[in-house]
Amino acid sequence: MKIGLIADTHGLLRPEALAALQGCDHLIHAGDIGKPEILDALRAIAPLSVVRGNNDRGLPWADGLPDHLLLDLGGLRIYLTHELADVPWPLPDEATVVVTGHSHKPLIAHKDGALHINPGSAGPRRFKLPVSVALLEPTPAGPHARLVPLG
């Protein structure tokens, strides 16, 4: 199973992001979506799990989106929320992967027994930070993630 991770689109869904996510079995958007059309375009690729980001609050189309999710995909227990500060410790229900957005800084790191992934921002460039998405796959050795730079 290949899981595509995207965050912080802020109303811009780059063609390079769509191309990088092709062939994924499931997609995850970690918030700050910007427009509902972005979710429609992602759902056209694969089933989608999504949380609301801080910039999605107060938007009628985003009111029903959750602030966090606990997912079981391909044998991976994934805790998804927009801001790292909102991740509970200890992690609930044996989650071994944490996916967040918000900072726009791509990150793959092991911390407190879990793989932490921030796919970075796939929307408008912020400062000099790279624009990216990430791919996540279960392997016999555990979850494996990699960043995919865009443009």
| pLDDT tens digits along 29-62 | 999 999 999 999 999 999 999 999 999 999 999 9
pLDDT band for 65, please (50, 70, 90 cuts).
very high
Integer angstrom CA distances of residue 60 from 8, 11, 12, 94: 18, 15, 19, 33
Per the CB < 8 A criterion, the answer to whether 70 and 77 are in contact is yes
CATH number at residue 120: 3.60.21.10
Task: Quote the DSSP letter at residue 23.
Answer: T
Q: How many domains does the chain have?
A: 1
Q: Which domain holds residue 101?
A: 3-149
Sheet holding 3-6, edge to edge: 48-50, 26-29, 3-6, 132-139, 142-149
